[in-house]
Chains A and B, each alone.
Chain A
Amino acid sequence: MILAPRFNSRPVISLQHVWKRYPNGTLALRDISLEVPAGEFLFLVGPSGAGKSTLVRLLIREEKPSKGKIFINGLELGRMKRWRLPHFRRQVGLVFQDYKLLPRLTVYENVAFALRVLGESSRVVSARVSDALATVGLEDKRRKYPSELSGGEQQRVAIARALVHAPRLILADEPTGNLDPATAWEIMQLFLRINAGGATVVMATHNREIVDMLRRRVIAIDGGQVVRDDRSGRYHEVLPAAAVHL
């Protein structure tokens, strides 16, 4: 495991009365306040359009809150200068539903890309990419292109890329959304191992089975508001069955 998180008493994530209104007038989030301590595994659940993805975008500072404050590792994102953003993003591992792999690069190059943009030496790149690929179990596929991999394998590559910076926080937006249940479960095992290594994991998901099976902290969002925050929660307790997508 390549993660080397450092714990402290501060919450990794802290949202204080966060509101988000888009320029077209849509109110995506209303008065969200929550704290995520280091090492936690947190599910964000809710129907489509509830505000989960907006929250993830706020957490990586792709968007700024209209009101309220967001702290990640003690840094207030709303006041962060643009030139400090890259450094901040290197401390956060990001995983998305559509993998966001570069089709012209091999598995190895896709993962190495995250280090090459920082100008790391070939020796460092080689060691850390090999480590990350070993963590996700894809060492033997390093020369393959994304198009030659299954959906689950592509998501593993994306996770390996998120891990090469040894982040203390992993943000995942619907990482199992494009995967069959068995593959989704394999990916979840991977996230659990990463979490067990000390990283905080925040995952927005629609996958009821996984949420119910793992019984981790669940924050349910609906209409841009936190409607439930359970320490050991389930998916279906707050949502009508009709709104649930597997």
Chain B
Amino acid sequence: MRFFRQLLFTSNSGWQSFWRNGGVTVAAVLSIMLILLLGGTSLLLGHALSQVLEGYKQRVSVISVSVADGTPLASVSDFMADLRERPEVTNVRFVSKEEELRRFASDPRNQQLLQQLDSNPVPAKIEVSVRHLSDVSTIDGLARGWRGADRTNPTDYQGDFIANMVRLSNYLTIAGLGLFAVLLLISVVIVMNTIRTAVYHRRREIEVMKLVGATEWFVRRPFLIEGWLTGMIAAALAVAVLLAIYRPFVARFQQDLFFLPLAYDPSFVVPLGLEMLALGSGLGLVGSFISVRRFVRL
């Protein structure tokens, strides 16, 4: 009971201090909110980028081998059978010239070109799905060595583009993590200074507490609660803003950059919100912990 009475006393004290320290608290909440918003936005953008990359990876993990006109069907069958036996290949499908033409015709941008054609210029294709993106280059090498492949454009392999995209994604991840670490450090320093100010405002109360025999952690606890509240309220505000802007942002993105496969992903938003709340609370606690260890001593 005694412990709960003390906890109640400190909770009330922390809550009062949070509001009494008004100006500084609001400034700290807004600063941390902006930092978390920046962090959250970068995480959302990172997620969007990985969505886009994933879409590309799926698309390019299927390599199309163009079959030269006049290649005997037996040669095509043999090559497809060889491909199916390879461990890295998951699926092999033949696309006839007619089917490929229908695909070509389904794109409205090709209508004008089609009207000028009097024969079928598109080659038949062998579509090969591979397990890993890195396997595409192996299949590309095999296809280029196969005699039935179209000499002018044997495959649709875009090795450099994908490698560059993956490299860019890795760089952005590292830069994002670095930026995030700096932002976290700034947040901790902001909380530390907020709590330092609160300690200064309540120095008389702290002095009396010490004189009447309060323990060191009893004196420190309200400041931990204040720091925790600062971080958590800042995180809650940041999450609210992110939730409000995420969906309209994706809708606008889909409208303007329709060729990029970015979609609204509610399954990512909920854990992100919870993680940001935990992060905000953690930042508040860490900042206030460091501060009270330095400034509140018996």
Q: A116: CB under 8 A from chain B?
A: yes
Bound: A118/B10 CA distance, A: 11
The stretch of B69-77, B90-98, B213-221, B278-286 in contact with A is B213-221
Contact B6 A86 (CB under 8 A): no
Partner of B212, one of A82, A89, A119, A121: A89
- Specify the chain B residue showing the minimal Cβ separation from A167: B213
Partner of B1, one of A60, A85, A90, A121: A121
Contact A161 B298 (CB under 8 A): no
Residues of B within 8 A of A82 (CB): 216, 298
Q: B207: CB under 8 A from chain A?
A: yes
Q: Please report the total number of A residues contacting B with Cβ < 8 Å.
A: 23
Residues of B within 8 A of A36 (CB): none
Contact A119 B6 (CB under 8 A): yes
Contact A94 B216 (CB under 8 A): no
Residues of B within 8 A of A60 (CB): 211
Contact A119 B216 (CB under 8 A): no
Contact A100 B213 (CB under 8 A): no
Q: What per-residue 1/0 map shows which CB atoms of A167-210 lie under 8 Å from chain B?
A: 00000000000000000000000000000000000000000000
Partner of B214, one of A83, A86, A121: A86
Q: A117: CB under 8 A from chain B?
A: yes
Q: What is the minimal beta-carbon distance from B15 to any residue of chain A, in angstroms? A: 15
Residues of A within 8 A of B2 (CB): 118-121
Contact A89 B208 (CB under 8 A): no
Contact A83 B215 (CB under 8 A): yes
Bound: A113/B9 CA distance, A: 10
Q: What is the minimal beta-carbon distance from A100 to any residue of chain B, in angstroms? A: 6
Bound: A196/B32 CA distance, A: 58
With A100-B204, A102-B205 known as contacts, the answer to whether A161 contacts B212 (CB < 8 A) is: yes
Contact A100 B5 (CB under 8 A): no
Q: A6: CB under 8 A from chain B?
A: no
Contact B298 A86 (CB under 8 A): yes
Q: What is the minimal beta-carbon distance from B40 to any residue of chain A, in angstroms? A: 38
Contact A117 B298 (CB under 8 A): no
Residues of B within 8 A of A89 (CB): 210-213
Contact B214 A117 (CB under 8 A): yes
Q: What is the minimal beta-carbon distance from B179 to any residue of chain A, in angstroms? A: 40
- Specify the chain A residue showing the minimal Cβ separation from B202: A102
Residues of A within 8 A of B213 (CB): 86-90, 114, 117-118, 165
Residues of A within 8 A of B214 (CB): 86, 117-118
Contact B216 A117 (CB under 8 A): no
Q: What per-residue 1/0 map shows which CB atoms of A97-122 lie under 8 Å from chain B?
A: 00011100000000001101111110
Q: What is the minimal beta-carbon distance from B7 to any residue of chain A, in angstroms? A: 8
Residues of B within 8 A of A94 (CB): 211
Residues of B within 8 A of A161 (CB): 212
Residues of A within 8 A of B258 (CB): none
Q: Which of A82, A114, A119, A165 has the most CB of B within 10 A?
A: A119
| 3 nearest A-B residue pairs (beta carbon) | A90-B213, A114-B212, A119-B6
Known: A83-B215, A89-B212, A121-B1. 10 other contacts (CB 8 A): A86-B216, A101-B208, A102-B208, A113-B208, A114-B212, A117-B6, A117-B209, A117-B218, A119-B5, A120-B5
Give 19 CB contacts A-B under 8 Å. A82-B298, A87-B213, A88-B213, A89-B210, A90-B213, A100-B204, A101-B208, A102-B204, A102-B208, A117-B209, A117-B212, A117-B218, A118-B2, A119-B1, A119-B3, A120-B2, A121-B1, A161-B212, A165-B212
B positions within 8 Å CB-CB of A = 1-3, 5-6, 9, 204-205, 207-216, 218, 298
